[in-house]
């Protein structure tokens, strides 16, 4: 069953942590008889929303049978023509399945197609007709009921194997449990938010070691301190409780910050966490920067200021590309009037607000030259930048097939992406490009029903890329927007 903008994350009936997704090589797709099944093989029946969340999820069930009810294929077919994230995921899933079944005989598809990692993929015809005892209890006009009865039919036909319905829809899993079915949530690549890599740590060292960092340009990282490349370390002096220093690990040694006393477009970081994020954003050697934090922590204005500084002042890149998902309205902007830019304008408010703060009085309340409120408007400045090709605003829908070169790309609300879409965004990177992903990966800030705080694309990238010297991450916990915003973030 496909579900729209609803929150199914309050209750979990079950969970599954499938194997990794090494699916680049697909094995011989010849038919596989049921005799190939071993006693420990399980039947995993997939709901439509699982394929929408991860279009290549079929490769995550190592050593088991993956079964797709016919109604799931029908739902994918009806969804693939939609605009936005849902349609994109549906099309990707359909293409992946098409590559697998192309040229296969009907009997081969029904009996099973062998995939890599000893996975057997089967398309199940409408098995719900084999369960007449439920005809009066379940409305067969509803697709989720057809999936439920198909799963029951498979369990009845193959009692020697465990049959499990995998769905990201809590209501679907509850209904299945009521029918006596075993259910599991699809949790491949899920991250526990409390365990998410924060990008900084603390340690205690002698003052002489702190001096070496600044006098010698660096200090080999002590073996007892485990850090990732571009991770920050707040060092407290062992022999001087009043002394502390913020340094950065370059993969080999601890070194001083490069941009500690710099500003960008009139903006100065206001706290240690913002200093860390600012350092990564300003460093052109760091090609991917992710920043997470709550409302008012400074994510958007930091990224916007650095982008303006890099493009307008330093000319390190040719243009700025702002990208944002359009999820709250059902991820489809086609019904809105106007061209793409006019459709996107309501969703780009955070960038316009950041521009306004930077242009008029700045984050540090210092007016910028020639940017008084009397002689210029934010809209006119942005329109001038857009018409000259300095600024481009896009949604995920319009990014497929593009190569973003000589650009600094800011992806706002990145917690709304699935891992698959987040990966697609990064694969748009061309020569001399830098990507900054910002967002708040808590459940109350996610409108996309296909992901939650543990399975969204932002946390996926943070964890998967943290070991690379090309990437860096910082979590912002302090609210700097205003005392009222700080109060609301803390107490409400």
In tens, the pLDDT along 220-274 reads 999 999 999 999 999 999 999 899 999 999 999 999 999 999 999 989 999 999 9
Three-state SS at 234: strand
CB burial class (10 A; 0-12, 13-18, 19+) of residue 2?
buried
Q: Hey, what are 177's tokens? A: 């449990």
The band of 35, judged by pLDDT with boundaries at 50, 70 and 90, is very low
- Alpha-carbon distance of 479 to 483, in angstroms, equals 8
Which whole number is the average pLDDT over 415-439? 93
Tokens 């809105």 correspond to 336
Is residue 215 within a helix (H) or strand (E), and if so which, with residue range? Answer: helix 207-215
pLDDT exceeds cutoff 70 at 187: yes
User: Which stretch of 16-25, 221-230, 280-289 has the lowest confidence by average pLDDT?
Assistant: 16-25
pTM listed for this prediction = 0.71
Domains delineated in the chain: 34-184 (3.40.50.1010), 266-491 (3.40.50.300)
| Residue, of 387 and 231, whose pLDDT is higher | 231
pLDDT value of residue 479: 82
Q: Is the torsion defined by CA of 210, 213, 214, 216 positive or negative? A: positive
Tokens 């857009």 correspond to 386
The band of 130, judged by pLDDT with boundaries at 50, 70 and 90, is confident
Share of the chain above pLDDT 90, in %: 53
pLDDT value of residue 188: 73
pLDDT exceeds cutoff 70 at 363: no
pLDDT value of residue 321: 94
pLDDT value of residue 360: 66
| Whole-number Cα distances in Å, 282 to 206, 261, 319, 477 | 30, 12, 15, 20
The band of 77, judged by pLDDT with boundaries at 50, 70 and 90, is very high
| Residue, of 228 and 362, whose pLDDT is higher | 228
User: DSSP labels for 384-448?
Assistant: HHHHTTSEEEE-GGGTTT--B-SEEEEETTGGGS-HHHHHHHHTTB-TTEEEEEEE--SGGG---
Three-state SS at 102: coil
pLDDT value of residue 361: 53
Q: What is the mean pLDDT of the chain?
A: 83
Out of 17-21, 68-72, 281-285, give the one with best mean pLDDT.
Answer: 281-285
- 455-478 per-position pLDDT tens digit: 899 999 999 999 999 999 999 998
pLDDT value of residue 451: 84
Q: Hey, what are 490's tokens? A: 């803390």
* Residue 57 per-residue DSSP state: G
Out of 216-225, 326-335, 395-404, give the one with best mean pLDDT.
Answer: 216-225
8 Å CB contact between 149 and 138: yes
pLDDT value of residue 358: 87
8 Å CB contact between 348 and 386: no
User: DSSP labels for 328-360?
Assistant: TTTS--TTSSSSHHHHHGGGGHHHHHHHHHHHH
């Amino acid at each position: 069953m496909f579900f729209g903008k609803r929150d199914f994350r309050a209750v979990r009936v079950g969970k599954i942590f499938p194997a990794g997704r090494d699916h680049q090589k697909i094995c011989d797709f010849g038919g596989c008889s049921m005799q190939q099944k071993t006693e420990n093989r399980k039947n995993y029946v997939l709901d439509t929303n699982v394929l929408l969340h991860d279009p290549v999820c079929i490769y995550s069930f190592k050593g088991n049978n993956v079964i797709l009810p016919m109604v799931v294929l029908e739902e994918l077919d009806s969804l693939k023509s939609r605009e936005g994230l849902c349609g994109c995921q549906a099309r990707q899933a359909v293409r992946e399945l098409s590559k697998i079944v192309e040229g296969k005989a009907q009997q081969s598809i029904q009996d099973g197609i062998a995939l890599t990692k000893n996975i057997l993929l089967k398309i199940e015809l409408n098995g719900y007709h084999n369960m007449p005892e439920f005809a009066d209890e379940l409305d067969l006009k509803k697709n989720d009921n057809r999936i439920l009865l198909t799963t029951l039919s498979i369990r009845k036909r193959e009692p020697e194997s465990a049959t499990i319905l995998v769905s990201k829809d809590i209501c679907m899993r509850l209904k299945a449990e009521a029918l006596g079915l075993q259910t599991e949530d699809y949790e491949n690549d899920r991250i526990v938010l409390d365990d998410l890599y924060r990008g900084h740590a603390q340690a205690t060292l002698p003052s002489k070691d702190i001096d070496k960092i600044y006098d010698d340009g660096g200090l080999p990282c002590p073996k007892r301190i485990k850090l990732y490349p571009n991770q920050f370390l707040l060092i407290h002096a062992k022999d001087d409780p009043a002394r502390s220093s913020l340094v950065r690990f370059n993969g080999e040694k601890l070194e001083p910050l490069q941009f500690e006393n710099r500003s960008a477009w009139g903006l100065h970081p206001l706290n240690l966490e913002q200093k860390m994020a600012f350092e990564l954003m300003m460093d052109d050697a760091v090609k991917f920067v992710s920043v997470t934090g709550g409302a008012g922590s400074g994510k958007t204005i930091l990224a916007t200021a650095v982008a303006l500084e890099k493009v307008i002042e330093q000319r390190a890149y040719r243009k700025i590309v702002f990208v944002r998902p359009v999820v709250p309205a059902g991820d489809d902007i086609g019904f809105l009037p106007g061209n793409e830019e006019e459709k996107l304008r309501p969703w780009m408010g955070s960038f316009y607000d950041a521009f306004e703060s930077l242009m008029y009085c700045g984050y540090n309340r210092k007016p910028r030259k020639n940017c008084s409120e009397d002689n210029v408007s934010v809209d006119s400045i942005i329109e001038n930048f857009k018409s000259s090709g300095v600024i481009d605003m896009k949604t995920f829908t319009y990014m497929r097939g593009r190569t973003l070169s000589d650009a600094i790309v800011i992806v706002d609300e990145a917690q709304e992406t699935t891992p698959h879409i987040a990966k697609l965004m990064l694969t748009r990177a061309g020569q001399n490009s830098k990507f900054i992903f910002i967002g708040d990966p808590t459940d109350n800030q996610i409108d996309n029903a296909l992901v939650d705080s543990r399975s969204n694309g932002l946390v996926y990238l943070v964890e998967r890329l943290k070991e690379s010297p090309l990437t860096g991450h910082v979590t912002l916990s302090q609210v700097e927007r205003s005392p009222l915003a700080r109060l609301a973030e803390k107490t409400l």
